[in-house]
Amino acid sequence: MIPGRVLIIDDEESFRHMLSVILQKENYEVEIASNGEEGLRKLTSSHFDQVLCDIRMPQMDGMEFLEEAKKVAAGVTIIMMSAYGTIDTAIEAMKLGAYDYVSKPFKPDEIILTLKKAEERERLRKENELLRKEIQKEYSFNNIVSKNQKMLDIFEVIKKVAPYKSTILITGESGTGKELIARALHYHSDRSGRPFIPVNCGAIPENLLESELFGHAKGAFTDAVRMKKGLFEEADGGTLFLDEIGELPAPLQVKLLRVLQDGEIRRVGESKSIQIDVRIIAATVKDLAREVRENRFREDLFYRLNVLPIHLPPLRERREDIPLLVNHFVNKYSQAMNKPVRGISPKALEVLVNYKWSGNVRELENTIERAIVLTDKENIELENLPIELQNFREETPAAPLAEEEYSIKKASKVLEIGLIKKALKKTKGNHTHAARLLEISHRALLYKIREYGIVENER
């Protein structure tokens, strides 16, 4: 780390000089001031990383300087020095915002060590801030990729409802981005500085789930050797994400309903309730209304949860997102793995656009990650895709168009691709026979196969 700029404030000329020499030897850039006022002027007009300030000085003393300095340069690290130091002054200086305190006289090593420690702390603080920003960025809209109208509408809804505490129910098939959306809701609310805690209601054994969620008193049951806070308490001020809510056992459905109604929880084995402030976001792959009809989910809880429903469409109903997502994941994983992969060949992309994607975006993401591991070229090629994708053929004409798509040209292309594939399948890849079925010339067929990047089965 490069030594920073240090301002020395002391009324004693010989001391200032001695300290300057010590610091300059360690490559610090040093400025000096002989009293608080002069120091404050320098601090206002220039940038310093650290200030070493004497406490006893005529005119403005160290304590006064400290108070003023915090107003003009909030981020600067101030270390106080004094020969008359008592513990009281030290504590008072720290209370006023000084980072540390050294008593004169001190050895050169001692002051250098103090400066280094302060630098390290500052570095960690900055790193932390950066990481927090990174995490927030990761879940901002910029990282939820879509141009599908239904998804864009959902982004608008998120912006609108994020600031409120209303309960939200997110539904959608596995891998459609439910958790991603839940996090986006959290990070777009003023709860973002507080925890976002995900709980998978289906993954925790029924007998443990209650104490996981609500905590327990000491001695509440055999293993309860000490009091434990539950996840509701841990999430206080933030968001609790109840994933797979459809798996919540009936007794806990009642308890959750009570939390939603009263805003309080009770630890297992305790009689008094605790007030909590938690936003609930629930998610499920199940059709909860049907679960209610079939008596597996409480109707009253369903209505409590379903205040603001968000339904994420499966990937096969928004195929226009596939090229975007592919691009997004290619960037993500080529960077992460430090491989110079730029894109994907048209043939491979065509296969991806037409695949059924029952595992939705997660499955697509895994496919791209794997392909980037396997490829040693600039582009992902057909052979880098899993064999079941390479062999996948839709029975019906290719990709259905997005709902909001009216272009005749695009629709005809989709239709043509579907018919050509069907004909090639039927004729086991014989171009002449396929062209006859399609009632086009042999040359036209070859042209179209190339133009549309149609993948042919090995003959």
Residues that bind ligand ATP (CB under 6 A): 144-146, 172, 174-180, 285, 325, 328, 361-362, 365
Nearer to Mg ion, 202 or 400 (CB): 202
- The reply to whether omega before 340 is within 30° of 0 (cis) is no
The smaller minimum CB distance to Mg ion, of residues 179 and 365, is found at 179
**What does 34-53 look like in DSSP terms, one character per residue?**
SSHHHHHHHHHHS--SEEEE
Residue 323 CB, nearest approach to Mg ion (Å): 24
Question: How far separated are the first and last CA of the chain, in Å rounded?
Answer: 63
Q: Which of Mg ion, ligand ATP, none sits in contact with 175, Cβ below 5 to 8 A by type?
A: ligand ATP
Shortest Cβ 149–Mg ion spacing (Å): 24
Instruction: Please report how close the Cβ of residue 359 comes to ligand ATP at its closest, in angstroms.
Output: 8
What distances in angstroms separate CA 82 from CA 37, 39, 106, 357, one per listed residue? 18, 16, 10, 70
Q: Which of 303, 308, 270, 275 is nearest to 288 (CA)?
A: 303
Q: Please report whether residue 54 would count as binding Mg ion according to CB under 5 A.
A: no
Which residues pair with residue 286 across a beta bridge?
none
Task: Choose among ligand ATP, Mg ion, none what residue 62 binds, the Cβ cut-off being 5 to 8 Å by kind.
Answer: none
Query: Closest Cα to residue 144, out of 104, 179, 193?
Result: 179
Q: Which is nearer to Mg ion, 38 or 291 (CB)?
A: 291
Say if CB 77 and CB 49 are below 8 A apart.
yes
- What string marks each residue from 283 to 312 as x (binds Mg ion by CB under 5 A) or -? ------------------------------
Cα(1)–Cα(3) distance, rounded to whole angstroms?
6
Shorter beta-carbon distance to ligand ATP: residue 172 or 418: 172
- Per-residue CA distances from 143 to 18, 188, 253 (Å): 54, 13, 34
Per-residue contact track with Mg ion, 159 to 188, x per CB under 5 A?
--------------------x---------
Under rule CB under 5 A, residue 100 binds Mg ion: no
Cβ proximity to Mg ion, 10 vs 244, nearer residue: 244
Minimum distance of ligand ATP from residue 145's CB (angstroms): 4
What's the angle, vertex CA 314, arms to CA 383 and CA 239, rounded to 5?
Answer: 115
Chain residues binding Mg ion by CB under 5 A are: 179
